Amino acid sequence: MQKNKLSVLMFLLALVVAVGPVSAATVNVDSSMTNAQIQTAITGANAGDTINFASGTYNGINLTINKALALVGNGATLVGDGVSILKLSSTTGVSINGFNININNPSADGITGSNVYSCDIENNNITNGDDGINIYMLYANLTINNNKITNMNDARDGISLVNHATTIDMDSFIPSTITNNVVDSLQYGIFLGGNFKGTVSGNNITNSPYGMTITGKNAATNGQLSATISNNNITGIAMESPDVLYLNLDNNNISQLNSTGYSILTNAYFAVDPSIAISVTNNAFSYPVTDTFHDDAGLYGEWSGNTLNGSPYT
């Protein structure tokens, strides 16, 4: 009996070793496939798989991703069919890398999603639509890096992140990064609505009346900012967030916001938490900032090393 038990145990152990862990697969698609066929491949893939697009032009594309997949573009061109091209739906762990995205509709978006977490959007060229990248409802831990959003015909937003949560614990909120992107000729270069925590660095925003807008969402009291904004070229900042918890604004070139006569414009809802300092250092302003923003930096943090049209700005 003991020998039989040992034999069964050894058989089960061998079976476990033989099966082993399930490894991620690579699913290859090419431009001969229809949108429906590509969607079927995505739907049938397992979380952790890679969807590998062969180079070429894919027409009539409108895809939904709702699991952790790596979409690898290899320079493939995705042409829209009238709606948003890539839609992320309540998902974690998606990466989108290396696509040319021709939205092909002035009222549609390139990459859009709601309730999106721990996702990477990198090395994409997005043209010919309304919003380049538009993430809303809830999000955290996003990486948006090295994308070019151009030739959008003065459309709405280059990069839009809107967190609708009415209450949020910013201490536990995982930060996002928006880095090294090129945004040209949109109404709003980068739009941060509601709550934002993270880093905005190394971006080049040109020919956009509102280079960066930071604002509450739905109500004046719904919006907190905890951010480092550094080393950007920005066509002005609309600083409308009602509650700045932390701000490090450093080494940016900031020109005029729309036709306001200001490089940074605040409204009546702008406020700074006096218990947490803000730092405004080494920025080159083409126009002055509003007195409220200047005074709050002086009262609650640091204002130093800034210039206004090349002269010291104290």
**pLDDT of 175-220, one tens digit each?**
999 999 999 999 999 999 888 999 999 999 999 999 999 987 555 5
| 265 shares its domain with 302 | yes
Domain extent, residue 217, equals 154-314
Q: What is the mean pLDDT of the chain?
A: 90
Boundary residue ending a domain (136, 165, 182): 136
In a domain, 13, yes or no: no
Q: What total of structural domains would you count in the chain?
A: 2
In a domain, 57, yes or no: yes
Rounded to whole angstroms, the Cα distance separating 191 from 55 reads 32
Give me the mean pLDDT over the 55-65 stretch: 98
Phi-psi region at 70: left, alpha or beta (left = phi > 0; alpha = psi -120 to 50): beta
| 209 shares its domain with 91 | no
Work out the number of other CB atoms within 10 angstroms of the CB of residue 76: 22
Closest CA to 63 of 54, 47, 51: 51
| 185 shares its domain with 283 | yes
| 183 shares its domain with 79 | no
Is the pTM value of this prediction over 0.85? Answer: yes
- What is the structure's pLDDT at 34? 98
At 141, give phi and psi (nearest 5°). 60, 50
- What is the structure's pLDDT at 217? 57
- What is the structure's pLDDT at 264? 98
| 205 shares its domain with 87 | no
What is the number of H-type helices and E-type strands within the chain? 3, 33
